[in-house]
Structure 1
Amino acid sequence: MKNILLLIILTFTSMVFSQTDEEVLKTIYTQSLTNGKAYEWLDHLSNTIGGRLSGSENAEKAVAWGKTELENLGLDNVWLQEVMVPKWIRGEKESAYFITGSGTSVPVAICALGGSIATSNSGLKAKVIEVQNFEELSTLGKDAIKGKIVFFNRPMQADLITTFSAYGGCVNQRYAGAMEAAKFEAAGVIVRSMNLRLDDFPHTGSMSYGDLPNDQRIPSAAISTIAAEKLSEALKNDTNLEFFFKQSCEQLADVKSYNVIGEITGSEFPNEYMIVGGHLDSWDLGDGSHDDGAGVVQSMDVLRLLKESGITPKRSLRVVLFMNEENGLRGGNKYAEEAKKNKETHVFAPESDSGGFTPGGFSFDCSDANFEQVLSWKALFKPYLIHYFEKGGSGADVGPLKNDSNVLAGLRPDSQRYFDYHHASNDTFDAVNKRELELGAATMTSLVYLFDKYGTNPLTSSKALKN
């Protein structure tokens, strides 16, 4: 019986090796779309475990779940990599309103920004001053700002087709707004949510006080885009209106957590490593399905899909479920630190952290020579409507692995809806489309297959479409 089983395995493996790249990619996409596991995994991660803020009980449940599921795949090695992470808690639900000149109280959808201090127990009420950027803040100066709540109201730039560029153009007001406003003795900060859509979902996200002493730190929160529009309009009619908000968040001591790692040992080059990953932590308002549950389950399915497709990697392939991307990047930095300590050679590292929408391609952080190799594979992806191959950024968690010779990549799905959900309470499982998620998993798997087969040596690039 054992000999028959071995013969079947050898025959199937031989069939895979004799296939063209086009045929292998078709097998991978077929497996993902008819036998995918990503959506089932995401259902559990989102609906049974839920939001997974670093240091929380749910984050640790996610670690245990990830380890168990990777072990169930029958990988060669599965382990936890210890990392210390920050523990910030939101506390009671935030509340806010502003009072118009007629005395009308207008409620505002609000949430504390990650890392912010609390207001006093009775909340904070003060006059508001609206600004677009830090330059305007500096021009106004301390006399105009002291004792007031600074309202940063610069929207994401709507005419930028790449929404991540629009996000990058205004996210500094969220991250550093409190730090900058505190220099002028502001009482607090509220920030327009990083969202292109007008809705009533406030979007959280990380913020920083830099090296400000504790006694100079001020509370910082995000308001919804609808609330921002209402407040801005009200300020045109009454510059003396008052804004109230209350939050009870708290920063606690760092706690122990883990990256979750699973590995298939390479059959020919076991000391050359490829990794694929997403971040296991999420913000606490929703269940983190798009950010980044989708990336986690897609990355896990890369290893499963290769096994199901009869592909044995030449190079060692790891899936890494990173902890603490959202408010510290401790997991990504820890993995790179350990890789350097162990003198591991990482040749390729794609990341999925842009949501579970329809995949459009990849951006690559690599040399021109390696990018030319990537472009030679573009025709292989055309049947799947994957056309975007550009040099650019990769991903936050794989970024620390960058060196002069390796290739980092970021999966680039359609981003037009991503910031409707990013860091908000509507980032939930029902917002993810099963087929789009599975297409992303297949696309990641296909690129891993090609880099494993041809390596990062540009001299082999011309072979891709001939075999």
Structure 2
Amino acid sequence: MKNIVFTISLLCALTTFSQKTDEQQIKSIFDTSLSNGKSYDWLNYLSNQIGGRLSGSVQAQQAVDYTKKQLEDLGLDKVWLQPVMVPKWNRGIPEFAYFETDPGVTTNIPICALGGSVATPLGGLKANVVEVKSLDDLAILGKQRLQGKIVFFNRPMDPKNISTFTSYSSCVDQRYAGAAEAAKYGAVGVIVRSMNLRLDDYPHTGSMSYGDIPVKDRIPAAAISTNGADLLSISLRLNPDINFFFRQTCEQFEDVESYNVIGEIKGTTYPNEVIVVGGHLDSWDLGDGAHDDGAGCVQSMDVLRLLKETGYKPKRTIRVVLFMNEENGLRGGNKYAEVAKSSKEKHIFALESDSGGFSPRGFSFDCNEDDFKKIASWKNLFEPYFVHLFIKGYSGADIGPLKNQDIVLAGLVPDSQRYFDHHHAANDTFEHVNKRELELGAASMASLVYLFDKYGNDIN
């Protein structure tokens, strides 16, 4: 009898000893990511073997096939594709632009079509250019000053904001709605200063909308590099009668079928409670989408691998979702939320990475005040890794449609100072991603997912 009691006591002691503390589990995650991470290799393939992954493109489908195979190779409990209809827009041949100060005296300027724009006439579009700083300036100038002109939106990102996303948000309206608003005053085209704090020669594309304007009344819209915008602005001060010429051959097609890529580890205790981690698989076509958002996708994939690699058995179902069509439609995020709602799935937490693969600084949480106070008690666990900025705020576009009163939404917050140097531009490429920074981000995400899985709705 004594031997039986001793054996039971020993087993209990060993079981207790084998259970890692939060500090130990998080250290194990970071150690594994930094010494045996897979995110960088996956990103290398996405960027250099597939490239830019515009929704509806061959490259987008190749990315779907590749990431599905990688998730299957991880030995997850389930991997599947979720169909979603997405827009298909093609840039066409490279754009060309110049401004003309005198007849025959021209200066070439770097531009790129905005995503969703119509083409110029086949031979290009040439007209007098009028500079404005905001959408409100259009009403001040009126149809008399803008009829038949090309409108040049030249409001720069504010360099005084430490959060560059604040600067981006304060001026992106001119890119998104500039063409629709200018068309109302008879403008024939729109040129928009690139959303970039740095002065360089890279034009930055991005989504734009014509609202309810009929197709026949839509005007072409392009982004101009920051150097080009400054040169054009200075030249206009010297000569207000400058003509601007640009040519682009982009085209919008019918919607096509694509997919969200989904994989999960089934929970051992509460399998009906779902935790989501993800990024968007599509990208713009100018670069290879390494930071936006290849980085977020491979980090999210590695979250599940890191949990498995460190021997952690999730209580809840942990699901990675690689969303399609964030850049020009958000169809993937909306479809995922629609299916989750119709299936009556209970999502308790969702984490998105869509701010680049730079050094992680912390997380932004969209939740109620009580939950946030409890979450903030975890900050000390992240302090050894310098990832302890916990703030309330924006989480992510693709997980936004999941929002309800019960779920906590979060976004990884990397250092943002260099992000808009690359955002939506031809230099958003693999060589600008640092391996260690990327792996630190994956480990940070895995650690937060671990804590939410362990404590669930009892966040303490």
Q: TM-score, normalised by structure 1?
A: 0.95
Partner of residue 131, structure 1: 132
User: 1:387, CA displacement in angstroms?
Assistant: 2.1
Residues 136-179 of structure 1: per-residue CA shift (max 9 Å, x gap): 11100000000000000000001011000000000000000000
User: 1:258, CA displacement in angstroms?
Assistant: 0.2
The 3 A distance-change label for structure 1 pair 100 and 15 is farther
- Work out whether residues 16 and 24 of structure 1, in 8 Å CA contact, stay in contact via their aligned partners in 2: no
Residues 295-314 of structure 1: per-residue CA shift (max 9 Å, x gap): 00000000000000110110
Partner of residue 202, structure 1: 203
Residues 374-395 of structure 1: per-residue CA shift (max 9 Å, x gap): 1100000000011210000100
Residues 263-308 of structure 1: per-residue CA shift (max 9 Å, x gap): 1000000000000000000000000000000000000000000000
Partner of residue 101, structure 2: 100
Partner of residue 368, structure 2: 367
User: 1:104, CA displacement in angstroms?
Assistant: 2.2
The 3 A distance-change label for structure 1 pair 107 and 209 is same
User: 1:17, CA displacement in angstroms?
Assistant: 5.5
Partner of residue 243, structure 2: 242
Q: Which amino acid aligns with 1:121?
A: L
Partner of residue 120, structure 1: 121
Q: Which amino acid aligns with 2:130?
A: I
CA distance in 1, matches of 2:280, 2:368: 26
Partner of residue 215, structure 1: 216
Partner of residue 268, structure 1: 269
User: 1:103, CA displacement in angstroms?
Assistant: 4.4
Secondary structure of 2:396 counterpart: coil
Secondary structure of 1:326 counterpart: coil
- How do residues 304-323 of structure 1 correspond to structure 2 at under 5 angstroms? 304-323=305-324
1:353 aligns with 2:348: no
Q: Which amino acid aligns with 1:240?
A: D
- How do residues 435-446 of structure 1 correspond to structure 2 at under 5 angstroms? 435-446=436-447
Partner of residue 393, structure 1: 394
Partner of residue 30, structure 1: 31
Partner of residue 290, structure 1: 291
- Work out whether residues 262 and 320 of structure 1, in 8 Å CA contact, stay in contact via their aligned partners in 2: yes
The alignment's C-alpha RMSD in Å is: 1.3
Partner of residue 43, structure 2: 42
Partner of residue 6, structure 1: none
The runs of 5 or more residues in structure 2 that have no matched partner are 1-10
CA distance in 1, matches of 2:16, 2:63: 38
1:455 aligns with 2:450: no
Partner of residue 259, structure 1: 260
Residues 90-117 of structure 1: per-residue CA shift (max 9 Å, x gap): 0000000001137421000000000000
Q: Which amino acid aligns with 2:299?
A: Q
Q: Which amino acid aligns with 2:310?
A: S
Partner of residue 5, structure 2: none
CA distance in 2, matches of 1:25, 1:294: 21
Secondary structure of 1:227 counterpart: helix
- How do residues 174-189 of structure 1 correspond to structure 2 at under 5 angstroms? 174-189=175-190
CA distance in 2, matches of 1:203, 1:16: 54
Q: Which amino acid aligns with 2:44?
A: D
Partner of residue 152, structure 1: 153
Residues 390-419 of structure 1: per-residue CA shift (max 9 Å, x gap): 000100000000000110000000000000
- Work out whether residues 190 and 221 of structure 1, in 8 Å CA contact, stay in contact via their aligned partners in 2: yes
- Work out whether residues 16 and 310 of structure 1, in 8 Å CA contact, stay in contact via their aligned partners in 2: no
Q: Which amino acid aligns with 1:30?
A: D
Secondary structure of 2:102 counterpart: coil
CA distance in 2, matches of 1:25, 1:214: 54
User: 1:14, CA displacement in angstroms?
Assistant: 4.9
Secondary structure of 1:100 counterpart: strand
Secondary structure of 1:361 counterpart: strand
User: 1:373, CA displacement in angstroms?
Assistant: 1.3
CA distance in 2, matches of 1:102, 1:238: 13
CA distance in 2, matches of 1:15, 1:321: 37
The 3 A distance-change label for structure 1 pair 188 and 15 is farther
Partner of residue 336, structure 2: 335
The 3 A distance-change label for structure 1 pair 122 and 15 is farther
User: 1:216, CA displacement in angstroms?
Assistant: 1.2
Secondary structure of 1:218 counterpart: coil
CA distance in 1, matches of 2:388, 2:448: 13
CA distance in 2, matches of 1:384, 1:317: 24
After superposing on structure 2, the runs of 4+ consecutive aligned residues of structure 1 that deviate more than 2 Å are 13-17, 101-104
Partner of residue 418, structure 1: 419
Q: Which amino acid aligns with 2:364?
A: S
Q: Which amino acid aligns with 1:53?
A: L
Partner of residue 86, structure 2: 85
User: 1:456, CA displacement in angstroms?
Assistant: 2.3
CA distance in 2, matches of 1:112, 1:102: 26
- Work out whether residues 86 and 253 of structure 1, in 8 Å CA contact, stay in contact via their aligned partners in 2: yes
Partner of residue 51, structure 1: 52
Size of the aligned set, in residue pairs, is: 449
Residues 318-345 of structure 1: per-residue CA shift (max 9 Å, x gap): 0000000000000000000000000000
Q: Which amino acid aligns with 1:390?
A: I
Identity of aligned residues (%): 66
CA distance in 2, matches of 1:217, 1:69: 42
- Work out whether residues 16 and 311 of structure 1, in 8 Å CA contact, stay in contact via their aligned partners in 2: no
User: 1:16, CA displacement in angstroms?
Assistant: 8.5
Q: Which amino acid aligns with 1:167?
A: Y
Secondary structure of 1:348 counterpart: strand
CA distance in 2, matches of 1:28, 1:17: 16
- Work out whether residues 126 and 243 of structure 1, in 8 Å CA contact, stay in contact via their aligned partners in 2: yes
The runs of 5 or more residues in structure 1 that have no matched partner are 1-9, 462-467
- Work out whether residues 279 and 292 of structure 1, in 8 Å CA contact, stay in contact via their aligned partners in 2: yes
CA distance in 2, matches of 1:16, 1:282: 46
